[in-house]
């Protein structure tokens, strides 16, 4: 990205504040020109749509989707500066339709002066439907160029009407090289960074800071600032000191966001794919990120029925037992029991026959009218019911050879012959399938 606008880029003017020195390091270190922007090379290669739009000044409405600390706000500010646009920022956390109207008035006044306006909406997914709809006419008529930032999947959190008018750009977690560049710049910058402290920093301390930042530049700089507060000028910043600041590191894990569902999906698919290592890894990632182990235990019970079923009926009991242990003992003992269940399910024989049968049967039930129970299957607790032949032709299986009333039917007449459950050839279900075939054969002969 360093060659994006050779000789043209202009530094963003520092924010005016009498308390500049009291702002967090992450705010002071916000890049002031495009060549300082770290990462996201996939968006800024020659010929890439965003690169071309900015370089040619042909801006369009867009949404930046990515994890925290990847530079969404910074990029919006730089685009406004590079394109000579008036910049307005709204936070959806605190914003309202009133703020949107005020932004429209401000944008129209700039338009009269011949200047375009870029409206940046942070956390746009937090605006409700009516608030998001309020942007539409002004995006349409060019009152402002709209840029939204979100950590959540826009497909789920942004209205289709707004989504259709904006191009989505995915920002990725920063890799270690990008984080290392940011760290080095912070250590030598005498104004915005901590360079005035003239610290000596152990290589191991730098490595640790980059690792625990977990792709988040803001987290990196916040940890650095906290560590520097404990070091005197001209002092030594050690890995031991960084470890004290980091404490019990909790990796980035949004319990209600897409990352959460991506990881539980990866765990489930690893179990289904008979890969205990993958299943255990995603289980540990979720636990390390702060996920409630009881949530995972409940999902493991679901996996036992959905992906293993009668191929190994013990899987369901093991999953329920693990859930019970987690409830009774808590962490860390309970987590070991859930890990045992996860690995057992991963190596167990697989069958989704019960899951498929259940879905197919539910579909039929919802499509059919309410079919009556056949008379021979009805109970007859009263004299009237017996007179109406309730249960009259029912054959008690235990009185039949092999405890099986061959030829007796159990479905409403309208759907006789329907089949839902087709056992696989795997695990115990193979024996179940063989038994069902024998019973069907007896039924046909009766």
Looking at the chain, the whole-number percentage of residues with pLDDT higher than 90 is: 30
Q: Which residue has the higher pLDDT, 33 or 99?
A: 99
Q: 141 pLDDT exceeds 60?
A: yes
pLDDT of residue 253: 54
pLDDT of residue 111: 85
**Where does the pLDDT of residue 429 fall: very low under 50, low under 70, confident under 90, or very high at 90 and above?**
very high
Q: Which of 32, 22, 122 is closest to 68 using CA atoms?
A: 122
Is the C-alpha dihedral spanning 157, 163, 166, 171 positive or negative?
positive
178-226 pLDDT per residue, tens: 898 888 888 887 666 676 666 788 888 888 888 888 888 888 888 888 8
Q: 71 pLDDT exceeds 60?
A: yes
pLDDT of residue 192: 62
244-298 pLDDT per residue, tens: 888 755 555 555 555 677 888 999 999 999 999 999 999 998 888 778 899 899 9
pLDDT of residue 153: 82
pLDDT of residue 360: 94
282-294 pLDDT per residue, tens: 999 888 877 889 9
Q: Which of 215, 291, 298 is closest to 257 using CA atoms?
A: 291
Pairing label, strands 167-170, 62-65: parallel
**Cα angle: 391, vertex 392, 394; to 5 degrees:** 65
pLDDT of residue 21: 54
Task: Name beta bridge partners: 237.
Answer: 201
156's tokens: 């789920």
Q: Which of 154, 81, 152, 155 is closest to 118 using CA atoms?
A: 81
Give all domains of the chain, ordered by start, each with its CATH number.
Answer: 40-170 (3.40.50.300), 176-246 (1.10.8.60), 258-347 (1.20.272.10), 375-445 (1.10.3710)
pLDDT of residue 8: 47
29-43, 48-62, 346-360, 379-393: which is most confident: 346-360
152-166, 191-205, 370-384: which is most confident: 370-384
pLDDT of residue 13: 42
Distances (CA, A) of 107 to 83, 112, 141: 15, 9, 12
Neighbouring residues of 332: CB distance < 8 A, sequence distance ≥ 6: none
Q: CA 280 to CA 354: how far, in whole Å?
A: 25
- Contact 280/342 with Cβ under 8 angstroms? yes
Q: CA 172 to CA 254: how far, in whole Å?
A: 16
pLDDT of residue 14: 41
pLDDT of residue 3: 46
**Where does the pLDDT of residue 127 fall: very low under 50, low under 70, confident under 90, or very high at 90 and above?**
confident
Ordered alpha helix ranges (H), 158-202: 160-163, 176-188
Q: Is 148 helix (H, G, I), strand (E, B) or coil?
A: strand
**Where does the pLDDT of residue 304 fall: very low under 50, low under 70, confident under 90, or very high at 90 and above?**
very high
| Averaged confidence pLDDT in the chain | 84
């Amino acid at each position: 990205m360093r060659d994006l606008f050779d000789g043209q880029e202009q530094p963003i003017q520092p924010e005016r504040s009498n308390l500049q020195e009291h702002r967090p390091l992450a705010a002071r270190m916000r890049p002031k020109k495009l060549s300082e922007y770290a990462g996201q090379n996939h968006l800024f290669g020659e010929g890439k749509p965003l690169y071309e739009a900015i370089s040619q000044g042909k801006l369009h409405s867009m949404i930046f989707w990515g994890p925290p600390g990847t530079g969404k706000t910074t990029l919006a500010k730089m685009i406004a500066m590079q394109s000579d646009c008036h910049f307005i920022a709204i936070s959806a956390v605190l914003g309202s339709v009133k703020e949107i109207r005020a932004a429209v008035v401000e944008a129209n006044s700039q338009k009269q002066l011949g200047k375009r306006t870029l409206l940046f909406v942070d956390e746009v997914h937090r605006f409700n439907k009516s608030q998001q709809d309020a942007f539409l006419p002004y995006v349409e008529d060019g009152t402002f160029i709209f840029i939204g930032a979100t950590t959540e999947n826009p497909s789920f959190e942004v209205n289709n009407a707004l989504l259709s008018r904006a191009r989505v750009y995915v920002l990725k977690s920063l890799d270690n090289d990008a984080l290392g560049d940011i760290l080095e710049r912070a250590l030598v910058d005498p104004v915005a960074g901590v360079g005035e402290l003239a610290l000596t920093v152990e290589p191991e301390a730098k490595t640790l800071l980059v690792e625990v930042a977990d792709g988040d530049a803001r987290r990196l700089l916040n940890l650095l600032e906290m560590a520097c507060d404990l070091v005197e000028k001209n002092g030594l910043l050690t890995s031991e000191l960084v470890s004290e600041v980091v404490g019990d590191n909790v990796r980035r894990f949004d319990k209600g966001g897409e990352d959460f569902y991506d990881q539980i999906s990866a765990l489930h698919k690893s179990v289904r794919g008979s890969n205990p290592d993958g299943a255990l890894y995603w289980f540990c990632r979720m636990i390390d990120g702060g996920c409630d182990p009881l949530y995972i235990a409940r999902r493991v019970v679901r996996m036992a029925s959905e992906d293993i079923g009668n191929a190994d009926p013990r899987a369901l009991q093991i999953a329920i037992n693990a859930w019970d242990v987690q409830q009774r003992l808590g962490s860390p003992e309970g987590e070991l029991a859930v890990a045992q269940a996860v690995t057992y399910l991963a190596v167990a024989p697989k069958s989704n026959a019960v899951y498929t049968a259940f879905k197919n049967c539910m579909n039929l039930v919802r499509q059919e009218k309410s079919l009556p129970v056949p008379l021979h299957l009805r109970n007859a607790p009263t004299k009237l019911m017996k007179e109406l032949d309730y249960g009259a032709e029912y054959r008690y299986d235990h009185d039949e050879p092999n405890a099986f009333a061959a030829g007796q039917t159990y479905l409403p007449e309208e759907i006789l012959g329907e089949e839902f459950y087709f056992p696989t050839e795997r695990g115990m279900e193979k024996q179940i399938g063989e038994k069902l075939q024998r019973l069907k054969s007896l039924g046909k002969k009766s």
